[in-house]
Structure 1
């Protein structure tokens, strides 16, 4: 919590840096009390850093990126994460697999060769700037924190410092969880909900139906969704509900 002598009795609002300290304290208490990470993280972190959206993804088994949390929970964050997941391209993927911080203050002016699939699609969203950093454990990235702005521009020095404060804190909280463990309906439990459970189910179904590895099945799903400008989750539902036979995919 902010210290009593900072604005106490004056009606002054806490500074953004005070607010981040309070946010981190509340998130830590919630995780220690048994909340899953996705339900433990309070809203409002993006605004404290001068961003419009924050997303946390984990690197799961097999190398896929799993969205764990977005602030705000709906809208631009999940839209951009789904876009990168479908295309297999974008800043979150680069930060994860090159294990380095990346900042693109103006997506419209970015080199088209940097993210050849992501950039043409991203121009149709509200995102205009991005920052992404790996959550590093030794030499390996176990997750990525990605922030977006709806106007071009870089973070200030203080905002960048706080972005890394948040990244380090989320690494410690992520290490307290177990990806894929069950989470009870009240949000208790140490596991993490998977935003794309339907896609994973469809991948397994397609793998079994066609007798191909799961990695190949996921590539087929992505390719078909991209070629037909179809949402990956909608495609998964069509397969699982048998509205679309597996052998009608673009093989």
Structure 2
């Protein structure tokens, strides 16, 4: 049985991947979250429409995609705040967080496993190109060592992030586009109604929230015209 890798080994692999000019797709087999005392890690990158696109989760079958989609659907949350304002966001106990901070995300998060979160912007040459977010199922602050290691991982990821941005990554990047159908539906709706793409996305989000439907399922129905949003 192969022993689990420690963080220093993972960091060395990230540096080698960067030196080999690889994309984030090279990280698919890595297990980083647990080494940082977290239950899930996600990476979102800014796409050509200026919105965040989920491209990587650790573990793949963990709560990360659900929590990321909640923020994308509702329009607030730690990942969005970190990316929009360019600073690290930490909440040690989501149940005790001021409701005014994320009035839509917090009630929804209480139905999920997440009880603590850290989100940091991914910045390259002064520009925010995405965000790295970690979730934990138990409340409490990260230790100083865990926090330091989280930011070491973030720094090691940056060269791979730069080559993986949706606007520049090629078809060989190996990245999964978790919300590709949502983007397609927003573009379709924008063209159909002659409205800006961000207005089309807002319409999708509003319908999803009002009817308590998955944004991805709604996008599929909109693309196949089983639902009309005009």
Q: Settle same-fold status: TM greater than 0.5.
A: yes
Match status 1:213 vs 2:200: no
Most deviating of 151-160 and 172-181: 172-181
Equivalent position SS for 2:140: coil
Q: Which runs of 5+ in 1 are unaligned?
A: 1-12, 184-188
CA RMSD of aligned residues (A): 2.0
How far 1:35 moved relative to its partner?
5.2
2:182 equivalent in structure 1: 199
Structure 1 contact 128–150 (Cα < 8 Å) conserved: yes
Match status 1:73 vs 2:60: yes
Cα pair distance change 1:61/1:124, threshold 3 Å: same
Structure 2 contact 23–163 (Cα < 8 Å) conserved: no
Structure 1 contact 23–42 (Cα < 8 Å) conserved: no
1:231 equivalent in structure 2: 214
The CA distance in 2 between the partners of 1:104 and 1:223, in whole Å, is 27
Please say which structure displays the higher CA radius of gyration: 1
1:59 equivalent in structure 2: 46
Q: Deviations 1:98-146 (Å, cap 9, x if unpaired)?
A: 1111110000000000101100110000000001111123443211111
Q: Which runs of 5+ in 2 are unaligned?
A: none
The CA distance in 1 between the partners of 2:46 and 2:197, in whole Å, is 17
> How many corresponding residue pairs?
227
TM-score (norm. length: structure 1):
0.83
Structure 1 contact 178–192 (Cα < 8 Å) conserved: no
Structure 2 contact 39–62 (Cα < 8 Å) conserved: no
1:99 equivalent in structure 2: 86
Structure 2 contact 43–54 (Cα < 8 Å) conserved: yes
- Write out aligned runs for 1:1-251 (5 A): 19-30=6-17, 36-180=23-167, 181-183=169-171, 189-190=172-173, 192-247=175-230
Cα pair distance change 1:34/1:100, threshold 3 Å: closer
Equivalent position SS for 1:25: helix
